[in-house]
Structure 1
Amino acid sequence: MNTLQAFLIAIIEGLTEYLPVSSTAHMVFLSSYFGIQEDDFVKLFQVSIQFGAILAVVALYWKKFFDFSKFDFYIKLVFAVIPALVLGKFFDDKIEAVLGDPIPIAIVLIVGGVILLFIDDRFKNPTVLREEDITIKKAVIIGFWQCLAMMPGTSRSAASIIGGMQQGLTRHVAAEFSFFLAVPTMMAVTCYSLFMKTYEASQMKGYELILKSDENIKLFLIGNVVAFVVAVLAIKFFIEIIKKYGFKPWGWYRIVVGLFLLVYFSYFK
């Protein structure tokens, strides 16, 4: 992977991590197009640059994250992230196997798009108007919804937002809670990929792959900085879009992109 490829993948991560369009699908398709998807460092890179996206949420909502007087906020996030931590550990190998095949990811992208077309009409009467009104039970249920995103192409953001709306949250509150929940979830995934997971081809830990060369260190830093900057802009953009138009634009986007990629990888790749 060269610097330009790393830069473009990081832009994709920053743009799509918090949108209901699956950042994993977009990065896998782009790296497959470049012909670098099977490289261990590329696989690690796609996960580790989520750290930059995590910092974007913390920077934008720093007052919320560092308001230690509201301890229940942290309790909700802890309970909500537990399902993903437990199930993620069990299904890591199966997820890794799917990442190598763009076709099922494209199909999931399309199916998720169709679902998003009807979400706004399905949940018209929200009862939870503030994050403070989310109960621990609702947070846990949203956490289980988030686990649907273990299938690449689903979108962690889409799954947790739909779960939030199913639990009575408004679009805005569901989106923001999805952002908050992303921080511990992606932090856990990033730490696991860096310090615990051994990559099959190289038989190295993630941090060893990064420290293997000055070039890898440079790409890791570039990726996180770019992902952070782009994610800050994407979060602000997304909130405004769902306030005005709901989720249908994202549904159509997923369907169009999914069909294009399905055709591309079926007949031209």
Structure 2
Amino acid sequence: MDNIALLKALFLGLIEGLTEFLPISSTGHLILFGHLIDFQSDSGRVFEVVIQLGAILAVCWLYRQKIIDLMRGFFTGDVHAKRFAINVLVAFIPAVIIGVLAVDFIKQVLFSPLVVASALIIGGLIIFMVEAKELKPKTIEATDVSLKQAILIGFVQCLAMIPGTSRSGATIIGGILSGLSRKAATEFSFFLAMPTMLGAATYDLIRNADILTSDNFINITVGFVAAFIAALLVVKALVKFVEKHTLRVFAWYRLVLGVIILLVF
């Protein structure tokens, strides 16, 4: 067992958990820090995808009661719960279709430092533009998202397939543009992340099961646990932050990180 590799996996797991739900691109951070610490996983990008499961399970745990209530309501005929579940599913569908069709192109062509840096910088500028509009929210709670809003957020989420865009950043901004409050957009982003990230991780695991060995399985497990713990700390803090503050601090951060990646690579 390579203890140095385990420490690197632990470090990247923490980075994943801390950045996955912030609108700053976990992929950009994993590429940058993976390069700086010279981390090479035998399972390639499977490591990056699977440790996302740790982050998403943290959200499932934190929102477990709301998930249970929604599921109970869905199966007992609660119209409100059914509508919310359908809206999450509708928002999820575009990512499934485009993801399956474009997965090879995305991984072979778009996973480059230039693409990541450009997406970070452009995304930061978009956040500044959206915040400058000072839009008045029409929907305050995530469970009140309409079908039209869900469709818009679902298509915007597909932009996050470009590395460096940030899935959470795209869906939160998409939600704000569609009339959601920052809190509602953030929480809907969390719920949409559940099927999206679980689906992506499962799909990649099936496609790459033959290259998983006991050694890189241990690395992935360490990264998974680290991401889970780190995400637990971030999610609730993010919801509280966006209730009282704009997203401009993340826009500045994206611009700085984008420039750093350009300089490093």
Alignment deviations for residues 63-83 of structure 1 (CA, whole Å, 9 cap, x no partner): 121112023222111111000
Instruction: Report how far residue 3 of structure 1 moved.
Output: 0.5
Q: Provide structure 1 residue ranges, at least 5 long, that are not aligned to the other structure.
A: 198-204
* Contact 1:141–1:163 under 8 Å retained in 2: yes
Q: Provide structure 2 residue ranges, at least 5 long, that are not aligned to the other structure.
A: 74-80
Matched length: 253
d(CA) in 1 for partners of 2:45 and 2:136? 41
* Contact 1:98–1:152 under 8 Å retained in 2: no
State the AA in 2 paired with 1:59. W
Structure 1 segment 156-235 matched on structure 2, within 5 A? 156-195=167-206, 197=207, 205-206=208-209, 208-210=210-212, 212-213=213-214, 215-235=215-235
Deviating beyond 3 angstroms after TM superposition, the runs of 4 or more aligned structure 1 residues are: 34-37
* Contact 1:119–1:247 under 8 Å retained in 2: no
Alignment deviations for residues 163-182 of structure 1 (CA, whole Å, 9 cap, x no partner): 11111000110011001100
Cα distance change, pair 259–47 in 1 and its aligned pair in 2 (3 A): same
Q: Say if 2:149 is the partner of 1:138.
A: yes
Structure 1 segment 10-25 matched on structure 2, within 5 A? 10-25=13-28
TM-score scaled to structure 2, two decimals? Answer: 0.90
d(CA) in 1 for partners of 2:244 and 2:144? 23
Instruction: Report how far residue 28 of structure 1 moved.
Output: 1.4
Q: Say if 2:162 is the partner of 1:151.
A: yes
Instruction: Report how far residue 246 of structure 1 moved.
Output: 1.1
Instruction: Report how far residue 100 of structure 1 moved.
Output: 4.3
> Percent same amino acid among aligned pairs?
41
Instruction: Report how far residue 20 of structure 1 moved.
Output: 0.2
Instruction: Report how far residue 6 of structure 1 moved.
Output: 0.4
**Correspondence for 1:202:** none
TM-score scaled to structure 1, two decimals? Answer: 0.89
SS in 2 for 1:13: helix
Range that drifts further, 136-145 or 119-128: 119-128
d(CA) in 1 for partners of 2:111 and 2:140? 41
State the AA in 2 paired with 1:162. I
* Contact 1:53–1:231 under 8 Å retained in 2: yes
d(CA) in 2 for partners of 1:26 and 1:240? 23
**Correspondence for 1:252:** 252
d(CA) in 2 for partners of 1:85 and 1:227? 24
Q: Say if 2:119 is the partner of 1:117.
A: no
